[in-house]
Amino acid sequence: MAHAILMPKPGQMTEECTVLSWHKKEGDPVKRGDVLFEIETDKSTMDVEAFDDGVLLKIVAAEGDVVPVNTVCAYVGQAGEAIPEAAPAEAAAAAAAAAPVPPPAPVPAATAAPEAPASSPPAALPAADREGRLRISPRASRAAAEAGIDPRAIAGTGPGGRITERDVLAAIQAAAAPPAPTALAAPGVAPALVPAALPPTPVDGEDEPRPFNRMRRVIADRLTQSWTSTPHFTVTVAVDVTRLLALRAELKAAGTNLTVTDFVLAATAQTLAEFPDVNSRTDGVSVWPRRRVHLGVAVSLPAGLVVPVIRDADRMPIGELHDRAVALATAAREGTLPVDDMTGGTFTVSNLGMFGVEEFSAIINPGEAAILAVSSAIPTAVAIGDGLAVRSVMKLTLSADHRLVDGELGARFLGAIRRRLEDAAAFRHDALNA
């Protein structure tokens, strides 16, 4: 019997993946453990291996196809063995084409649009199953609730007409788009149709447009969703890190190479344990308290941005925290970071201090209540008593979800981080006793 090769589900929140390349072609012999094809998720790439010996009988998903998880991508079996006439993905497409489309509501003649050409694609499958239950993914349901959109009015494009997060985001964008303008017309004369948007005028020296890669597209969707659905507010404090930088130099001379990021992560993790509300999340209706601190660390890649997660960061000594952060960042840049290490974060730290940034604010990662933006340590003239002294000052900016975190709570949270960073003696004890 031919064995179906399904698109894996690399992470709990992953709904679809892109087929990047096939390592085998139809008719090639296959052994258990052989890499059949490579896929791209929203955060990384991974290989899909064969679980049985035999021959690659049929490739269902071509290179470049975006395929829902648990959908058949290929069949492996014995040479000459029969395979199902249609893969589930093909059967779903056929069902969509054969599904009856309800007639459109009557439109006044003056505003009636021209008929669609015969080659127009079929309408998406209805999202309700035979029992009337709405077929919608958890992420799509949450996005619709946060945006105040009735998901029953959205046509699903997922398997079996299931509503995906992408469908909801498209509906949000469509609802926010301004109506297309129409030309003025004399009474009794149908107005001329005007395109909703004209293509931008080419600029000298401008290259042809290129589409976002998958990672950048997911970043755009998630951060747009966060910025438009979460009421952000920011608060900034200045931290005197003069003693901390001196401690770092002292430890480095003794063979312990810690970074400023390590100290910030340690101080943040300890403070999150002290302020569990900042470590929680909300959808605007309910609050999910989280007592474990899973700290996300933003890492820049050529294709975009990933946020590896250090689990139980508040329970780690600073030396262990450093080793874990280095291992995750290295795996992210090498493209070997498991999806599980990029999910489940409760708070994120974004550090641009190595780029000479004086101050910035960041957008909250969806599913979290706040994010910390870390700037550079800059020599600054500071009033001390009746005189001036040059101190290394670093700005920290907290972006917080105002539905869960008020200004007073955000200020106290940042103040607690500042106190920890300015207490170099406590870090010395931690580092030397790790």
Question: What's the rounded Cα separation, in Å, for the pair 315 and 333?
Answer: 26
Q: Note whether 10 and 339 are within 8 A (CB).
A: yes
Hey, what are 1's tokens? 């019997």
Radius of gyration, alpha carbons of the chain: 27
Q: Is residue 402 among the annotated active site residues?
A: yes
400 and 358, same structural domain? yes
243 and 145, same structural domain? no
Q: Note whether 369 and 281 are within 8 A (CB).
A: yes
402 in a structural domain? yes
Q: Which of 96, 130, 152 is the last residue of a domain?
A: 96
165 in a structural domain? yes
254 and 224, same structural domain? no
CATH of residue 142:
4.10.320
CATH of residue 259:
3.30.559.10
User: What's the confidence (pLDDT) of residue 235?
Assistant: 97
Instruction: Enter the pTM of the model.
Output: 0.60
250 and 223, same structural domain? no
Question: What's the rounded Cα separation, in Å, for the pair 271 and 417?
Answer: 6
418 in a structural domain? yes
Question: What's the rounded Cα separation, in Å, for the pair 411 and 316?
Answer: 25
* Burial of 369: CB neighbours in 10 Å, binned 0-12, 13-18, 19+: buried
191 in a structural domain? no
Using CA atoms in the order 330, 336, 341, 345, what is the torsion angle rounded to 10 degrees? Answer: 60
265 and 412, same structural domain? yes
Sign of CA dihedral 427, 410, 221, 72: positive
Let me know the angle formed at the C-alpha of 219 by 328 and 363, rounded to the nearest 5 degrees.
85
User: What's the confidence (pLDDT) of residue 429?
Assistant: 79
193 in a structural domain? no
341 and 303, same structural domain? yes
How many residues would you count in the chain?
A: 434
Question: What's the rounded Cα separation, in Å, for the pair 144 and 402?
Answer: 20
Per-residue confidence in pLDDT tens, the chain, 434 aa: 788 898 888 766 677 888 888 999 999 999 988 999 988 876 677 889 888 889 999 999 998 888 888 889 999 988 888 887 654 444 444 444 344 444 444 444 433 434 444 444 434 445 555 445 567 776 676 677 666 667 777 888 876 677 887 888 888 777 655 555 444 444 444 444 444 455 566 667 777 787 887 778 888 888 898 999 999 999 999 999 999 999 999 999 999 999 999 999 999 999 999 999 999 999 888 999 898 999 999 999 888 889 999 999 999 999 999 999 999 999 998 888 888 888 889 999 999 999 999 999 999 999 999 999 999 999 999 998 899 999 999 999 999 999 999 999 999 999 999 999 999 999 987 777 65
Domain membership of residue 88 as a residue range? 3-96
296 and 241, same structural domain? yes
User: What's the confidence (pLDDT) of residue 176?
Assistant: 59
User: Of 3, 23, 402, 429, which residue is the catalytic one?
Assistant: 402
CB atoms near residue 164 (< 10 Å):
21
160 and 20, same structural domain? no
330 and 218, same structural domain? no
User: What's the confidence (pLDDT) of residue 52?
Assistant: 84
Q: Which of 46, 74, 96 is the last residue of a domain?
A: 96
Question: What's the rounded Cα separation, in Å, for the pair 417 and 428?
Answer: 16
Q: Note whether 239 and 397 are within 8 A (CB).
A: no
Residue 426 makes CB contacts below 8 A (sequence gap 6+) with: 420
CATH of residue 55:
2.40.50.100
Q: Which of 33, 65, 96 is the last residue of a domain?
A: 96
251 and 221, same structural domain? no
69 in a structural domain? yes
| SS3 assignment for the chain | CCEEEECCCCCCCCCEEEEEEECCCCCCEECCCCEEEEEECCCCEEEEECCCCEEEEEECCCCCCEEECCCEEEEEECCCCCCCCCCHHHHHHHHHHHCCCCCCCCCCHHHCCCCCCCCCCCCCCCCECCCCCECECHHHHHHHHHHCCCHHHCCCCCHHHCECHHHHHHHHHHHHCCCCCCCCCCCCCCCCCCCCCCCCCCCCCCCCCCCCCHHHHHHHHHHHHHHHHCCEEEEEEEEECHHHHHHHHHHHHCCCCCCHHHHHHHHHHHHHHHCCCCCCEECCCCEECCCCCCEEECEEECCEEECCEECCHHHCCHHHHHHHHHHHHHHHHHCCCCHHHHCCCCEEEEECHHHCCCCCCCCCCCCCCEEEEEEEEEEEEEEECCEEEEEEEEEEEEEEECCCCCHHHHHHHHHHHHHHHCCHHHHHHHHHCC
114 in a structural domain? no
407 and 323, same structural domain? yes
Number of structural domains, the chain? 3
113 in a structural domain? no
Question: What's the rounded Cα separation, in Å, for the pair 225 and 13?
Answer: 16
Using CA atoms in the order 248, 253, 258, 263, what is the torsion angle rounded to 10 degrees? Answer: -20
270 and 398, same structural domain? yes
Question: What's the rounded Cα separation, in Å, for the pair 111 and 182?
Answer: 10
